[in-house]
Amino acid sequence: MSDQVHPLENQIALVTGASTGIGRQSAFALAEAGAAVVVNYIGERAPADEVVAKIEARGGQALAIEADVSSEAQVEAMFRASCERFGTLHILVNNAGIEKDCAFTEMPLADWQKVIDVNLTGQFLCSRAAIREYLRRGPQPRISKATGKIICISSVHQRIPWAKHANYAASKGGVMLLVETLAQEFASRKIRVNSVAPGAIKTAINHAAWATEDALDKLLEMIPYGRVGDAADVGNAIVWLCSDAADYVTGTTLVVDGGMTLYPSFSTGEG
């Protein structure tokens, strides 16, 4: 079995929010690269079981675990169950996230708090549990050059302000500095921490932005590359960042946005 075809062979990955959207495709991509995958979900179990079944049908290993990433007790229980099943963990993909958009002056405190709890505190709790396991286990150089890898799913809105989404943008800005700080703190222990910042990706959470021809045309005005992203674009980036090919990469954000952050309104060069 070629390392280039299966660069994550014999590794165990946990993906939060893996039953739909970017998380779902990331789970498939990691499995195709050779990893066993823990499929985290909350709520309806059937979509998570479908992800597991598809991975197993292609010869992979997977396990669905329900956990609210904003709950310390549930996160700790999920990591214990994952390690009981697979022995350890090598990769964490912090993907779970929500939006609750509202004009700032009308935003309920509960909506602010819920987005921060899931999008930022959830990444803290899962990252802490993963790093504790990486340090407990120690290096396994025949499996991975890094002792452990963490990929945090951020957003172009860690850089682009977003009116009526103050809670979401604040959470993603926090993710950016969480990633950089963890990467700095644990680089000496060979733990790599990076993020992927997607732009417009065709998922259910932003369906209205691309579902009609008029909406799609308006969206494409912000994307120089001329297409809306697919969840597979993000999954491919995650696999590379988790592989030994990216072993010298830590504390950085890989932006996957078709050029959305390149100020496309300036592309004509006109003043």
**75-104 core/surface letters (b: 16 or more CB in 10 A; e: else):** beebbeebbeebebbbbbbbbbbbbbeeee
Residues 79 and 67: their CA atoms lie apart, in Å, by 10
Question: Quick one: tokens of 36?
Answer: 């066993």
Find residue 63's DSSP bridge partners.
Answer: 38
| Distance, CA of 47 to CA of 41 (rounded, Å) | 9
C-alpha dihedral, 114 to 68 to 126 to 248, nearest 10°: -80
Q: Where in the sequence numbering do the catalytic residues fall?
A: 168
Closest CA to 38 of 1, 90, 98: 90
